[in-house]
Amino acid sequence: MTTHHIENINVTAFDDMPTPEQIHASLPLSEKAAKTVTHGRNLLHKILDRKDPRIFVVVGPCSIHDPVAGLDYAHRLKKLSDEVGDTIQLIMRVYFEKPRTTVGWKGYINDPFMDDSFRIDVGMAKAREFLLQIAEIGLPTGTEALDPNSPQYYGDLITWTAIGARTTESQTHREMSSGLSTPVGFKNGTSGDLGVAINAILSASKPHSFLGLTNQGRVAVVRTKGNSYGHIVLRGGDGRPNYDTVSISMVEQALTKAKLPHNIVVDCSHANSFKKPELQPLVMADVVNQIRLGNKSLVGMMIESNIEAGNQSIPADLSQLKYGCSVTDGCVDWATTEKMIRDAAVLLRDVLPERVS
């Protein structure tokens, strides 16, 4: 009996996708890249375990759309990282997948040519190639895990993973996070709800069994042991910030009640800056001041930054795209980024060593 009249009614095609194994074979992990990833993850483990007094900052474009400009940014960030590395561990924000409220460009993997051709097969290979280039210059990277199959293609090149506000409550993403090889930051809900992030940390710390993809492209039952390096990322919610001292104290109380480590990361963007990128320096300055005044729970920050400030719409003629300018959320420019991070390093250099337990 055929089932075409009741199955896949709204599906127009199934296009073949290279397996993770094939993508890995064509773009193998180099020894230098592997060292970058391993070193970056180990540093984050030490920071989260309070064995390293430094803080970490995930900084970079809201999304990657131009790998040339992205690599330009990475070289600048690597130079800055070498300068402030005794105080701040910099991780480049490399986001390839963008959740959309309704519709829109879904990111570099989904539509790498930005022309609605949706060459996901090409996008996945280009994403891995870009991550290899960044790792080979010695710069660790962080990304948002959105599609549960993507980590099989490039997870070996990622140092830190975020689960976004829209997906923190998703069982699929909690299960996936339990098996990821990186520390994972769970954002509070878009409403500002902390409970969904705390529940996600607890869930991801436990073993799970779920459907997933092997490196050979086969569907399999994935069995995980749990991820002990989950932590909360505050991004504000319902149009209001949540990085002030009262909010931080409430998060600390919630973490204590859940018997979780006091590891808090503040996203300087989104509702914490009222979606105004130019306010991100004020958010960072406030967080730095809280650390200087003795807070020991704040371990990291996130910044949306690019070569040029602001953002731009995607034009029909892609040659009109402004170089180094975001096509998704607005960012601070490179000069502002340098000042934010250098100022933070100067202010924190003498106080952070006191935080080692």
Rounded to two decimals, the pTM is 0.97
State the pLDDT at residue 114: 96
CA quadruple 19, 159, 82, 34: dihedral, nearest 10:
-50
- Over pLDDT 90: what percentage of the chain? 95
CA angle 339, 63, 338 (to 5 degrees): 10
Can you tell me whether residue 233 is helix, strand or coil?
strand
Using one digit for the tens of pLDDT, what is the confidence trace for 130-164?
Answer: 999 999 999 999 999 999 999 999 999 999 999 99
Whole-number Å distance between alpha carbons of 54 and 42 = 13
41: Cβ–Cβ under 8 A, 6 or more apart, which residues?
A: 140, 159, 160, 181, 182, 183
pLDDT band at 101 (very low <50, low <70, confident <90, very high): low
Range 166-184 average pLDDT: 98
Which residues on adjacent β-strands are paired with residue 88?
Answer: 55
Separation of alpha carbons 118 and 133, rounded Å: 23
| Residue whose structure tokens are 């803080």 | 55
User: pLDDT tens across 315-343, in order?
Assistant: 999 999 999 999 999 999 999 999 999 99
pLDDT tens sequence across 285-312 = 999 999 999 999 999 999 999 999 999 9
DSSP, res 29: P
Q: Match domain 20-39+58-355 to its CATH number in 3.20.20.70, 3.90.1150.180, 3.40.50.970, 1.10.357.10.
A: 3.20.20.70
pLDDT over threshold 60, residue 357:
no
* Spatial distance between the Cα atoms of 47 and 53, rounded to a whole number of angstroms: 6
Q: What is the per-residue pLDDT across 19-41, written as a single tens digit (0 to 9) for each? A: 999 999 999 999 999 999 999 99
DSSP class of residue 274 equals T
pLDDT greater than 80 at residue 1: no
The β-bridge partners of 160 are 142
Distance, in Å, from the CA atom of 115 to the CA atom of 65, rounded to the nearest integer, reads 12
Rounded to the nearest integer, the mean pLDDT of the chain is 96
User: Would you say 200 and 188 are in contact if contact means Cβ atoms under 8 Å apart?
Assistant: no
Going by C-alpha positions, the residue among 58, 68, 40, 61 that lies closest to residue 126 is: 68
CA distance 41 to 49: 12
Question: What is the distance between the alpha carbons of residues 22 and 128, in angstroms, rounded to a whole number?
Answer: 12
Q: Which of 48, 39, 18, 3 is nearest to 216 (CA)?
A: 18
Q: What is the pLDDT of residues 194-243, one digit of tens each?
A: 999 999 999 999 999 999 999 999 999 999 999 999 999 999 999 999 99
d(CA 241, CA 234): 9
3-state secondary structure (DSSP) of residue 223: strand
Neighbours of 136 (CB within 10 A): 15
User: Cβ distance 292 to 257 under 8 Å?
Assistant: no
Task: Report the pLDDT value the prediction gives residue 52, as an integer from 0 to 100.
Answer: 97
- 59: pLDDT strictly greater than 90: yes
* Contact present, 286 and 243 (Cβ < 8 Å): yes
